[in-house]
Amino acid sequence: MPLDDERRRAVIAATARLAAFAADVAAVELGADVAIAGTFVP
Amino acid sequence: LTAGEIAAAVRTRTTSARACVAEALERIARDPELNAFTALFADRALERAESIDAVLASGRDPGALAGVPFAAKNLFDVAGVVTRAGASVTDGDPPAERDADLVAALERCGAVLVGATNMDEFAYGFVTENAHDGATRNPHDRTRIAGGSSGGSAAAVAAELVPLALASDTNGSIRVPAALCGIFGIRPTYGALSCRGAYPFVNSLDTVGPLARTASDLQLAWTALAPGPGTSSAPRAARRCARLDGYFEDDALPGARHAVDVVCDALGATDVVELAYAREAREAAFLITAAESGALHADRLRTRAGEYDPATRDRLIAGALMPAAWYLRAQRFRSFFSAVMREVFASHDVLIAAATPYAATQIGQRTIVVDGREIEIRPNLGVFTQPISLAGVPVVSVPVVERGALPVGVQLIGRAGSESALLELAAELERAGAVGAGAVPVAV
């Protein structure tokens, strides 16, 4: 289903938010002095 | 009446399960304005109640929740009913073949499902302003939101339509509505309770659990849902409690901070801990949520996007288009953050933080001013719950309801598997009068 202009702008805004979050999370990985790896255990 | 009082009265045959269930159905029917329920199962409920009365008449024990009416968020499977998950795009799905595991677990203990409750579409929200079913109203002020995504379940319990309800919590969907409606709720350790028969949202973060008006009812429900010895509760004096500072204080309005003060004072908690990487933990939870929910709905979005609630559709589409590297990095960060959390729990048993940064806002309100900044209400209601979701540890949300003020909630956060200890702590706080559900205005 094609997106109209309004929907397209909303999806782009949501994607931009996710991109900013991804950059923050990546910065931790790049800057952390411990390896970010392993299996998730609560 | 509380769930405990109803069960005691039914088990001693002071009243009947049928009468209790019929009364609950009448209460619900008398209050359509609250908009907490999307379906009632009157025939099934009355039949089930009669079978409980028959068990009692034969001298057998129907269970610790005998005759207790309860509700379930409309993402839980109910045999013979289409599971809507707050959507209309699910209307043509086949009916569920069996009850969800949690519904079955409560009914095995004698409780009776009376209806399904309103929610944000596919649990993707914190307000329960649903495009298909309307907004659920907050029983404390009916012009305000109930919180979400389990808003119908929380409002039904707060308004005393039912003493217990089932809900789900991915990013805060039990804790946020529990806080805004002034009741108790528990998000269990990730994986502790079966999600079978609960419509999925984000498999990596989804949990299911109960809501109640009293801490003792929440304990009763937990015992029914997670039978077993549980973890032993440390003596109160030996329990090391700390307030979460920094990120968990910065964006909170005074009412939320005051609620944390009340709980910390009651517990004698003077330690303060700043949880490192909390902001990034929330962001990682957002990324995982977007990717997994987007993937789940990608096929249907291709052809039926117009049937989705606009409040969820754009975020689902963005998630479906998200690069895999972002998701994988968020999952790696999750392992790292859970280790950070375990380190904090090496020196403390319970962490204390507000459940939401502010009390219930007006239905339809889009922004709020916090510390001179205008922020969006919908995503920010989960600012304090999402980082804890990422860590996968259990949380009990306790209500602070003061005269003349709207309810706010406080999170009691424990290490994995410490649900019993957290519930005991909530009960202690309730007995001490520090927390507890307040009376709600009577519906007219």
The tokens for B201 are 């949202």
Cβ–Cβ gap A18/B280 under 8 Å: no
First to last CA, chain B: 20
Is there a contact between B69 and B111 (Cβ–Cβ < 8 Å)?
A: yes
Average pLDDT over residues B93-110: 98
> What is the C-alpha separation between B353 and B247, in angstroms, rounded?
10
Q: Does A9 touch chain B (CB under 8 A)?
A: no
pLDDT of residue A35: 61
Say yes or no for a CB contact (<8 Å) between B321 and A24.
no
The answer to whether the CB atoms of B334 and A26 lie below 8 A apart is no
Is pLDDT of B249 > 90?
Answer: yes
Contact between B250 and B257 under an 8 Å Cβ cutoff? The reply is no
The band of A39, judged by pLDDT with boundaries at 50, 70 and 90, is confident
- Asked whether the predicted pLDDT for residue A34 surpasses 60, the reply is no
CB B241 within 8 A of CB B269: yes
Catalytic residue among B73, B150, B233, B418: B73
Q: Reply yes or no on whether B173 is catalytic.
A: yes
Q: Do A10 and B191 touch (CB under 8 A)?
A: no
- At residue B147, φ and ψ (nearest 5 deg) are 85, 170
For residue A27, give the chain B residue with the closest CA: B280
Q: Is the predicted pLDDT of residue B234 greater than 80, yes or no?
A: no
Tell me, what's the pLDDT at A3? 75
Output the pTM of the full model: 0.96
Average pLDDT of the segment spanning B267-280: 96
In the predicted model, is pLDDT for residue B435 greater than 70?
A: yes
B358-408 pLDDT, tens digit each: 999 999 999 999 888 899 998 899 999 999 999 999 999 999 999 889 999
* Higher-scoring residue by pLDDT: A42, B383: B383
Local confidence band at B47 (pLDDT 50, 70, 90 cut-offs): very high
pLDDT score, position B142 = 98
Contacts of A3 (CB under 8 A, 6+ apart): A11, B317
Using a CB-CB cut-off of 8 Å, the residues of chain B touching A10 are: 314
A15 in contact with B, Cβ within 8 Å = yes
CA distance B353 to chain A (A): 19
How much of chain B, in percent, has pLDDT values that exceed 70?
A: 97
Using pLDDT thresholds of 50, 70 and 90, give the confidence band for residue A32.
low
> Which residues in chain B have Cβ-Cβ distances shorter than 8 Å to A8?
none
Q: Please report, rounded to a whole number, the percentage of residues in chain B having pLDDT higher than 90.
A: 93
Residue of B149, B150, B168, B216 marked catalytic:
B149
Nearest to A25 among B283, B303, B392 (CB): B283
- The per-residue pLDDT for B235 is 52
Locus of tokens 């994988």? B328
B73 is a catalytic site residue: yes
B107: how many CB neighbours lie within 10 A of its CB? Answer: 18
Identify from B203, B205, B280, B299 which residue to disrupt to test chain A contact, counting A C-beta atoms within 10 A and taking the largest count: B280
Residue B236 has pLDDT above 70, yes or no: no
Q: What is the pLDDT of residue A30?
A: 82
Judged by CB atoms closer than 8 Å, whether chains meet at B284 and A21 is answered as yes
Label residue A38 by pLDDT band (50, 70, 90): low
| Candidate list B173, B204, B389, B418, residue with the active-site label | B173
Burial A11-26 (b: 16+ CB within 10 A, else e): beebbebbeebbebbb
ipTM score of the complex? 0.87
Instruction: Report yes or no: A10 at the B interface, CB cutoff 8 Å.
Output: yes
| Strand order through the sheet with B69-73 | B37-40, B112-117, B69-73, B164-169, B207-212, B184-187, B395-400, B408-414, B350-354, B241-244, B271-273
Query: pLDDT tens-digit profile of B281-327?
Result: 999 999 999 999 999 999 999 999 999 999 899 999 999 999 999 99
- What is the SS3 string spanning chain B? CCHHHHHHHHHCCCCCHHHHHHHHHHHHHHCHHHCCEEEECHHHHHHHHHHHHHHHHCCCCCCCCCCCEEEEECCECCCCCCCCCCCCCCCCCCCCCCCCHHHHHHHHCCCEEEEEECCCHHHCCCCCEECCCEECEECCEEEEECCCCCHHHHHHHHCCCCCEEEEEECCCCCHHHHHHHCCEEEECCCCCCCCCCECCCCCCCCEEEEEECCHHHHHHHHHHHCCCCCCCCCCHHHCCEEEECCHHHHCCCHHHHHHHHHHHHHHCCCEEECCCCHHHHHHHHHHHHHHHHHHHHHHHHHHHHHHCCHHHHHHHHHHHCCCHHHHHHHHHHHHHHHHHHHHHCCCCCEEEEECCCCCCCECCCCEEEECCEEEEHHHHCCCCCHHHHHHCCCEEEEEECCCCCCCEEEEEEECCCCHHHHHHHHHHHHHCCCCCCCCCCCCC
Rounded Cα–Cα distance for residues A42 and B393 (Å) = 6
pLDDT in tens, B53-76: 999 999 999 999 999 999 999 999
pLDDT the model gives residue A36: 66
- What confidence category does residue B216 fall into, taking pLDDT thresholds of 50, 70 and 90? very high
Residue B231 pLDDT > 60? no
To the nearest whole Å, the CA of A7 is away from the closest chain B CA by 7
